[in-house]
Chain A
């Protein structure tokens, strides 16, 4: 549709107008959070509100970063999220390989179960979970958090990985098999290296989920040295004096890892999503 110059100009103006409205909807709340984290606690709800006011300082950030308790939350979050990511990636590669390359008796049933796990409500698992975790002797440990988060990350990761492997030609691994390479060799030497975009997508997705989890992190830990950033924020909210600026600073710092990961890998991520579960 080739319009006149004038028509194109009108279209462009409308488009930009819509784009900016969308950007305000998505971005202004975030901008306000970031700007408020630089205010003093007294100025947070000042009237009239200002984006940046005279109380601008890094005090809230310094307070968070100089508090060993808060730093511990970060350490825990990183440790748990990285462990979950590594375990989920390895497990989902193996499962995706089986589902993509082999035909076996219960394949249909098992893939149904794996897809179906996504619809299990966390709150349903929650009630007997506490007893189960205590019985397994892993209450208030990293192990409990890592294993629990894998229940929620694995399903989607396996669907994505299977989808990715399905896009790779079978001739590739069959050639290696005929040359005498076992299935294990084929998987790790041939398929894994060329599936890197899919693996990165799975990894980023898993990290985000693990970094953000709240309900189980709250219930399965007892002591603050085991708790993660979302729980740290929750604890700050529970205190009698609301330290808004510190809460916001902790929130901004707590969002940075996911934001950075996303910015670095967004291309892989979008490609991985289209190759994986949700595809046209």
Chain B
């Protein structure tokens, strides 16, 4: 009888330790598909590209790969074309993020107005979000149609007397990068709009009531209640958007192809790899883009964690 009890107890402890172990391993089991995928399709390529960047003669090359240390970096970074691409990328990204923020917030505030009925809001919300449903290649087609020298934009500007002649928006060396930036602004602000709409709905009405009781005007309500309440969203969004804009490839590729002085880092890298087959140089450039994005990515991850806590 006593023996049996001991056996039961031993069985129970066994069960507990088995349960505990299972409980410890379970989260890893749930995460395993994600981790496997990320390991094979993200970590492996990044490590490979990292290694490539220190070698010459990689991939399509009859010669043996040769370790060259930091030579690729020195070559790539000192190139005049690289500096131009870097400058364009920064201009493209900063202008896009600022404009996305301003337009997204303005539209969200308009749609949040108390003076509008629910149906009117719903209708305008759909119109304002429209650019978001189009993929980059369709946005490229759309704006190549509009900005064509014989297109409707030139027609309207000419009729209004705003331009002296028909402009080659996407192939003029002085205009192309601005035109591409404008297209990116048009296509990207709805992401902010949607997030701000969600954020504005989360601000308690009491705050505004209290502000009004204290005699704040509309601007002060916006400055001291709306903006601070949206701040965590704004920071995460701006960082993520900045990183995504630095990545942006398709839109630039399909509008100007990086020509006419509108080369950005991603098109420059793509050309190095798949037009000139200079894979060592391309790998180095890819690492540079990764470094820039990781730098801002760290701030993004931190802003996300703060929001989680």
List chain A positions with a Cβ less than 8 A from chain B: 1, 8, 11-12, 15, 18-19, 22-23, 25-27, 29-30, 32-33, 36, 44-45, 47-49, 91-92, 94-95, 97-99, 102, 104, 107, 110, 112-129, 131-132, 136, 147-148, 150-151, 154, 158-159, 163, 166, 183, 208, 211-215, 219, 229-230, 233-234, 237, 244, 247-248, 251, 254-255, 258-259, 262-263, 266, 269-271, 273-274, 277-280
Contacts and interface: CB of A to CB of B under 8 A. Distances in A.
A132 B47 CA distance: 12
Contact of B240 (A29, A118, A131, A163): A118
A279 B212 contact: no
B45 to A, nearest CB: 5
B296 A251 contact: no
A122 B44 CA distance: 14
Nearest to A118: B240
B interface residue count range (under 10 / 10 to 19 / 20 to 34 / 35 or more) = 35 or more
Contacts of B138: 230, 233, 251, 254-255
Interface in B6-44: 23-24, 26-28, 30-31, 33-35, 37-38, 40-42, 44
Contacts of B116: 15, 19
Given A45-B151, A123-B247, A270-B194, A258 B133 contact: yes
B293 A120 contact: yes
Contacts of A124: 45-46, 49, 286-287, 289-290
14 contacts: A27-B127, A32-B146, A91-B37, A98-B30, A115-B305, A123-B266, A208-B133, A215-B250, A258-B134, A262-B133, A269-B194, A273-B198, A274-B199, A280-B199
Contacts of B127: 23, 26-27
B247 A233 contact: no
Interface stretch (B67-75, B79-87, B231-239): B231-239
B152 A32 contact: yes
B218 interface: yes
B195 A273 contact: yes
A251 B51 CA distance: 40
Contact of B155 (A48, A97, A129, A163): A48
Nearest to A91: B33
A112 B301 contact: yes
B247 A121 contact: yes
Contacts of A136: 40
B297 interface: yes
B254 interface: yes
